[in-house]
């Protein structure tokens, strides 16, 4: 909001006052949802979504599409000596055209229009799986490789023991295997089930901590908006 008013007129004076009043009214519109799903809340929601989509679209067009299109056209019209370079420039252009063809639902070349979408889904799935493995699973496994041997008067091994037990228990909580009839198989199943139950407790504790952090963040945002209303808008708090 501040960036919008700063781009329209000079800083200070009427623009700052108008911006404060508009932000305060939109905040009150959002708070009206506490009473009922009113038209005021829907107006504020639509403005938020529209502004976000417009901002993201402008950034994508200006910082992504235009530079890529300019570089692509420059490489194509430069007539590079290697045909491999030209093919590498044409393929993204064809995939982009196939995505644009999705705007025409009755277009006959449906197979060609699915190529770009399939490419995006494939790249997205590969990045998601690779990110989950390299960013979550592997670091978690490395974090559980801890020493459980007591060292002098240091009680850090107890914390290491809780981490190892909780992590392995969380993995065993998702074990769904029917045990065999042999005694050692039944004993193994009993141990893993008990350990998995402990792991579910650790998972619930983790979910509770995440929920508490989210609530704390929301309360902090609420306090910030109330401070804005009472300090910047109404001037009650000095």
Domain boundaries of the chain, sorted by first residue: 144-238
Helix intervals (H) in the chain = 2-8, 14-31, 39-60, 66-77, 83-100, 110-132, 138-143, 156-172, 183-227
The whole-number pLDDT of residue 94 equals: 82
**pLDDT digit string, tens, across residues 88-137:** 667 777 888 888 887 776 666 667 778 888 888 999 999 999 988 888 88
The total number of residues written for the chain in this structure: 238
Q: What stretches in the chain show pLDDT beneath 70?
A: 1-13, 75-76, 78-89, 105-110, 152-153
Contact 112, 133 (CB under 8 A): no
Which contacts of 152-157 are long-range, i.e. CB under 8 A and separated by 24 or more positions? none
Q: How far apart are CA 209 and CA 217, in angstroms?
A: 12
The CB density around residue 44, as the number of other CB atoms within 10 Å, is: 20
Longest CA pairwise span in the chain (Å): 83
Three-state secondary structure along 120-149?
HHHHHHHHHHHHHHHHHHHHHHHHCCCCCC
pLDDT given for residue 211 in this prediction? 96
- Tell me how far apart the alpha carbons of residues 87 and 75 are, in angstroms, rounded to a whole number: 10
Q: How far is Cα 122 from Cα 15, in angstroms, rounded to an integer?
A: 48
Strand partners, 154: 151
- Tokens encoding 139: 């670091």
Nearest to 112 by CA among 92, 97, 91, 93: 97
At 141-150, the pLDDT tens digits run 888 888 787 7
Confidence (pLDDT) at 40: 92
User: What gap in Å lies between CA 60 and CA 150, rounded to an integer?
Assistant: 55
- Provide CB contacts within 8 A for 149, sequence distance 6+: 157
pLDDT at 86: 63
Q: Is the pTM of this model over 0.85?
A: no
């Amino acid at each position: 909001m501040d960036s919008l008013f700063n781009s329209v007129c000079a800083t200070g004076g009427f623009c700052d006052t108008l911006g404060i009043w508009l932000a305060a009214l939109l905040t009150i519109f959002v708070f009206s949802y506490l009473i009922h799903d009113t038209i005021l809340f829907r107006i504020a929601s639509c403005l938020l979504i529209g502004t976000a989509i417009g901002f993201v679209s402008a950034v994508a067009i200006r910082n992504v599409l235009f530079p890529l299109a300019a570089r692509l056209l420059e490489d194509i019209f430069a007539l590079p000596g290697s045909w491999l370079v030209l093919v590498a420039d044409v393929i993204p252009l064809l995939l982009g055209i196939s995505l644009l063809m999705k705007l025409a639902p009755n277009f006959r070349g449906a197979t060609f229009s699915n190529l770009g979408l399939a490419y995006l889904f494939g790249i997205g799935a590969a990045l998601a799986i690779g990110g989950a493995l390299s960013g979550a699973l592997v670091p978690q496994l490395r974090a559980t490789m801890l020493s459980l041997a007591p060292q002098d008067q240091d009680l850090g091994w107890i914390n290491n023991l809780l981490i190892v037990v909780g992590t392995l228990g969380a993995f065993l909580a998702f074990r769904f295997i029917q045990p065999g009839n042999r005694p050692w198989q039944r004993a193994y199943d009993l141990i893993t089930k008990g350990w998995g139950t402990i792991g579910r407790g650790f998972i619930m504790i983790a979910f509770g901590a995440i929920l508490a952090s989210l609530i704390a963040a929301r309360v902090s945002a609420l306090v910030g908006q109330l401070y804005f209303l009472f300090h910047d808008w109404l001037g009650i708090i000095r």
